[in-house]
Chains A and B, each alone.
Chain A
Amino acid sequence: DAGVIQSPRHEVTEMGQEVTLRCKPISGHNSLFWYRQTMMRGLELLIYFNNNVPIDDSGMPEDRFSAKMPNASFSTLKIQPSEPRDSAVYFCASGHRETNTGELFFGEGSRLTVL
C-alpha cells in the first residue's frame, strides 16, 4: 500500500514568494495533520482535519499560512508570502480516527528553504 505522499520533497524559494506544499493521505484514513519541524522548536502541530474539515488550526503561525483539504485524498499547506523563518521540514500525517489508537502515518516531509 502507498504511504502518505508529500510533494515537493525539497523547495528553495525567495522571500515573498508563495509556497504550496501538497499531501496525499493513506486511502481510507479520515484524519490528516500538518506538522512543522525545526531544530529550535521541534515538531509543532500546525493544523488537523477530520473528514476534510479543519478541527484545530491553533498552531498555524499567522495569516500567511493556510491549509485546505478539498477532498479525502488531497491537502495543501500554503505560505504567502514566505519568509526566511518559515524554513523548516513540513510533515503531513494521516490516521484513522475511529480506531483512536493515535498512531499516525507520516510522509517523508517537504524541506522548505526560504532565502
Chain B
Amino acid sequence: AQTVTQSQPEMSVQEAETVTLSCTYDTSESDYYLFWYKQPPSRQMILVIRQEAYKQQNATENRFSVNFQKAAKSFSLKISDSQLGDAAMYFCAYKWGGSEKLVFGKGTKLTVNP
C-alpha cells in the first residue's frame, strides 16, 4: 500500500525567510503524481503545486518549489520569501497513475512569525 509520511508536525519561519517542508512516500509504481495542498484556517484545501513522477525537472509555482528525489522517494516543498498568509497546514499527497485516489500525509502546521 502506498503511504505518505510527513515527519514534521510543526514548523515555523520568520517572515521573508525560506522554509522547507519534508515529505517521503512509499510506492512500487513508476507512474504517479505528487502534490502539496495547503489548508488555511478556513479549512478549504487548496492545491499549491504538483509534480509528475516522469518529469525530472522540479516543479515551481512562484515562491513555491519542490525538490523531487525519485530514487529516495522524497518530495519536499520550499517556500521562499515567506508571507503571513502562508501560515497553514500543508499536506503532501500521492496519486498512482492508474487510480484516482489521493493519499495524504498527516500534515505539517506552518507558522509564520512577523
Which A residues are within 8 Å of any B CB, using their own CB?
A: 3, 31, 33, 42-43, 45, 48, 50, 55-56, 89, 91, 93, 95, 97, 100-104, 106-109, 111
For the complex of A and B, the 5 pairs showing the least CB-CB separation, nearest first, are A106-B45, A102-B95, A43-B104, A42-B106, A102-B33
In the bound assembly, the distance between CA atoms of A95 and B43 in angstroms comes to 18
Chain A interface secondary structure, helix, strand, loop or mixed? strand
Contacts of B35 in A (CB 8 A): 102-103
Which B residues are within 8 Å of any A CB, using their own CB?
A: 33, 35, 42-47, 50, 91, 95, 97, 100-107
- B100–A107 touching, CB < 8 Å: no
Contacts of B43 in A (CB 8 A): 89, 108-109, 111
Q: A42 is contacted by which of B42, B47, B95, B104 (Cβ under 8 Å)?
A: B104
In the bound assembly, the distance between CA atoms of A95 and B87 in angstroms comes to 26
Chain B nearest CB, measured from A20 CB (Å)? 20
In the bound assembly, the distance between CA atoms of A96 and B70 in angstroms comes to 26
- B107–A102 touching, CB < 8 Å: no
In the bound assembly, the distance between CA atoms of A111 and B44 in angstroms comes to 12
- B100–A95 touching, CB < 8 Å: yes
Q: Identify the interface centre among B33, B43, B97: most chain A CB within 10 Å of its CB.
A: B43
- B105–A102 touching, CB < 8 Å: no
In the bound assembly, the distance between CA atoms of A48 and B103 in angstroms comes to 13
Q: For residue A43, which residue of chain B has the nearest CB?
A: B104
Q: For residue B44, which residue of chain A has the nearest CB?
A: A108
